[in-house]
Homo-oligomer: A and B are copies of this chain.
């Protein structure tokens, strides 16, 4: 029984504490750990180890006579060192596939279905950001004359998003010219990323002869003014209401603050947008987050891709006490699925 790897045991006990706490939300005592794992060590020994872990800042005490609770740092170590992904079962995957299949006809329901799926699999709030307009490819633009002074501009992107804006024209427009403009744009810009269009057209403008200049200028106006290209991302989420049943929200003001995140979506949008270009699943635990409003929660994000190009982000948010394995697996799986669904849709 000598020379047991101390480090190893610390890890094991930290793991036990984290997992037990995630499961029950009750601070974990030395006895509980000893029993839970039928360990060959007594509670007393575990207490000593716990004291060490506490010194390292991995766990804490709510008060003297309470069990231990993981700190953010403790969760971090757990996630980094001995978390094994807990893949969705075949049944779960096929359930999701079925849902997505039903909901993927139109863009809106697809977004809703994905966020709902994340929520269902994990019991935390599932979040999906719409594809960044800038990163979508141009597919088609159409100008529909409504009355003498107004035109409806309709833009279709590669990921199936349709965006439309009403244009109030100051001067009278000629139908044939409108047609020429849309034909020109459709030919010229096909397949281009929306984010690159403005620059491209400006460059073209500089190198053109006078005769073509006015035409081009008009074309640019038609595209840029209406805010067609203006990014205006939206966020879809599901499960915010049911999660406030968790014990961490028994204080009603906590619950309100949490729900407020979803009412004022800005913070969340930024948060998810920020590490959209980082590959893989990102996990931000508690105070690791910069924004105060989310420092009691863990955020798991991933990006999703259409034709191998990153165009959006999705993920989950919930109490730091979440089932990391499942959440990570679910987010990972659904980012794949969403990407594929968008390719079909586009």
Binding site for B on A (CB under 8 A): 106, 139-140, 142, 144, 146, 152, 154, 156, 160, 162, 164-166, 238, 240-242, 244-245, 249-250, 252-253, 255-256, 259-260, 262-263
Contacts and interface: CB of A to CB of B under 8 A. Distances in A.
Given A152-B156, A240-B259, A244-B252, 6 more contacts: A144-B154, A154-B162, A241-B260, A245-B253, A252-B252, A252-B255
Contact of A146 (B140, B165, B238, B250): B140
Contacts of A255: 244, 252, 255
A333 B146 CA distance: 30
The prevalent SS among residues of A at the interface is: mixed
A142 B142 contact: yes
A183 to B, nearest CB: 12
A142 B249 CA distance: 50
A245 B251 CA distance: 11
A160 B166 contact: yes
Contacts of A253: 245
A144 B142 contact: yes
| Interface pairs A-B: 10 shortest CB-CB | A241-B259, A162-B164, A142-B144, A241-B263, A241-B260, A154-B154, A252-B252, A152-B156, A241-B256, A244-B256
B166 A164 contact: no
A255 B244 CA distance: 9
A165 B252 CA distance: 42
A130 B165 CA distance: 18
Given A139-B146, A146-B139, A252-B244, A164 B160 contact: no
Contacts of A164: 154, 162, 164
A47 B259 CA distance: 43
